Amino acid sequence: MIKISGLEKRFSHDFVLKIDELNVAKGDRVAVIGPNGSGKSTLLRILSGAIKQDCGHFSISDGAAPGYLPQSPYCFAGSVEFNVRMGLDSETDIEKLLRDCMLYDLRKKKSSKLSGGEKQRMCFARMLAGKYACLMLDEPFSCTDIETSQMLEKVLDDYCRENDVTLLFSTHLPSQAFALSTKVLILNNGEIAEYSNTSSVSRPDSEFGRKFIDQWRIC
């Protein structure tokens, strides 16, 4: 589904991302984790087409642009329902989607009047409305409370299962990573420290991976 080869990105003459090779199979759900500044957001931004790499290349096999949800998603002027309909695929049940994302009662509310968490839910729903085969999510529920985040995780999990979606998402939450992913990608200084099945990531091969997971689990 996604193939990466020799991908590099620099900012201020320093490498932010340097990935020699990475393959993500169709239907895989990859949690992208690592310390702050390890390249998580940069990787997702490149794969989504938001920014260009300096060298190397990647391909997404279906040829279509992926759905992308940045940390600070963009809201169009207008109501919540108007915003969600901006990405609407003809097969999407808009009323069900609004209800699933806890937006139905807010559907007539102007986007400018929403809280940070409500805006994030609205933009998440707009992305799901597009019925993308591949999704890139950067800290997707960082502005929501724990209960809301867990409900949205269930919505995302169901969506991926029902539509055989390939998913890459960054997160700082161990519970979210292990609940949603089939694989875990650990980045360190822009390079891959570990890439393995979620079930085996508790025993990373690399020294950095072991130290990071041990520390991460207690955060």
Q: Are 152 and 101 in contact (CB under 8 A)?
A: yes
- pLDDT digits over 108-136, tens only? 999 999 999 999 999 999 999 999 999 99
Domain 2-66+133-216 is of which CATH architecture? 3-Layer(aba) Sandwich (3.40)
Q: What is the pLDDT of residue 207?
A: 79
C-beta neighbour count of 83 within 10 angstroms:
25
Question: What is the per-residue pLDDT across 190-208, written as a single tens digit (0 to 9) for each?
Answer: 999 989 888 776 676 777 8
| Residue ranges of the chain with per-residue pLDDT less than 50 | 218-219
Model-level pTM? 0.89
Strands ordered across the beta sheet of 67-69: 67-69, 134-138, 166-170, 29-33, 183-188, 191-197
Query: So what's the pLDDT on residue 77?
Result: 95
CATH 3.40.50.300 in the chain is located at 2-66+133-216
